[in-house]
Amino acid sequence: YYMTIGDIVDYSDMKEEYKARLWSYEQLISIDRLKKYQMSNEPVHDYEIAEDFGLPVNVVVDAIRMFFIKDII
């Protein structure tokens, strides 16, 4: 909605979809708070992080994957 123009539901333009998802993940998940989990010596499950952010587990897992790919965390 904020990052793309037109209908990207059919995934014909994955570059636009990727850009929109990255933007939305950055809006929903604080990188600084996520890094605290990364720096922790205690094991943390994905559902615990999702609960902390108030998001579904699959959204948090997808966001973490994308942040790793972009070398954000």
The per-residue pLDDT for range 18-65, each reduced to its tens digit, is 888 888 898 899 888 888 888 888 889 999 999 999 999 999 999 999
CA separation for the pair 16, 59 (Å, rounded): 18
CA separation for the pair 36, 56 (Å, rounded): 19
Query: Which tokens hold the place of 9?
Result: 């539901």
| Residue range(s) defining the domain that contains residue 48 | 16-69
Is 9 within a domain?
no
Is 33 within a domain?
yes
Tally of domains within the chain:
1
CA separation for the pair 64, 29 (Å, rounded): 9
- To the question of pTM greater than 0.85 for the whole model, the response is no
Is 3 within a domain?
no
